[in-house]
Copies of this chain bind each other. A is one copy, B any other.
Amino acid sequence: MKKKVAIVGASGYSGEELVRLLLQHPHVALTAVTSRQYAGQTVAQVFPKFAHHPGAKDLRFAEPNAELLAKQAEIIFLALPHGVAAEYAVPLLERGCQLVDLSADFRVKSAAVYKEFYAHDHSAPALLDKAVYGLPEIYREQIMNASLVASPGCYPTSILLPAIPLLRDGLIKPTGIIADSLSGVSGAGRTVKLDYLFVECNESMRPYGLPKHRHLSEIEQELSLASKTVVTFQFTPHLIPVNRGILTTLYLAPANHFSTGVELDELNEKVAACYKTLYADRPFVRLLEHEALPDTKNVIGGNFIEIAWRLDARTGRLIVISALDNILKGASGQAVQSFNLMCGLPETTGLI
């Protein structure tokens, strides 16, 4: 049995990757893709590299139309800019569709926080409560029963998957958390701006968006939920000349009861146990052992996150490092992972 599926806004890098994943998904019939820019053209014309998929030759991009989409598909992926996604969500949910939204529109629970970070009123605040934050490793049950999944992006995923277990288990302090993240250029989307030209990015390394990045809002929300206290968090993103990948280095302070050398040794074991308990059976989390450290080249092209950690005996600080593919585990792969859960399929279907 195949689910009828549509993608709204399939012309960016995440949209393109969704097309690829859903064309080859054994339980998906991709019935509609929309793009104002490419309306009228086939998927094979717009993305020649998918031309060999039988579906790519016949499927034609259309202008987005909620009424029509609701007839064509049961589950719909929204790969739209923030603010725009909410406009489509309301009529599609009303017509009984299930949604996986890749934008930031439904990730924050509080309309006030949304306004603070995105500088405009939320257009569908009633839906904020209904939306499930789409981190399958954390909210598996809720996603299975969701009608609206707010699928998180690359930075939040790279930070939350390593940090939440430690906060939940009380192993680290909820204060003073720092994330220093490196992103490939596809993280900026298929945005035609001077800053993202080859010559401006190649042989360049630079921070950006300091000090108050929009994604802080959802990251702080989830860290606060995990620690049951209000978390304020430090985050510095950098732009690096690679196509894909996120590498995040987290600087964490052990909880107060770990201060002596002996206690730090104990902490080291508890961190390992904490991660293993939560993630050992999760198919997309790779806990690195021995001397291994994350490297984005080992996760590019797959839906995995690599995690490693080091307790620095000199400073008493815990360093946790994660790596993922920003377009897969950081966007489209994670969205399909949630889709699988919503459909009662094994999480890995079409992804491994």
Contact = CB atoms under 8 A, between A and B. Distances in A.
A293 interface: yes
A241 B300 CA distance: 15
Given A312-B211, A312-B234, A204 B295 contact: yes
Given A196-B197, A198-B197, A314-B212, A242 B182 contact: no
Interface stretch (A125-133, A317-325, A328-336): A317-325
Nearest to A348: B52
A51 interface: yes
Given A193-B192, A286-B51, A247 B242 contact: no
Interface residues of A, number: 75
A196 B192 CA distance: 9
A186 interface: yes
Interface in A204-257: 204-208, 210-212, 216, 232-234, 236, 238, 240-245, 247, 249, 251
A202 B241 CA distance: 9
A101 B243 CA distance: 33
Interface in A87-143: none
Contacts of A49: 298-299, 302, 304
A262 interface: no
Interface in A251-308: 251, 283-284, 286, 288, 292-302, 304, 306
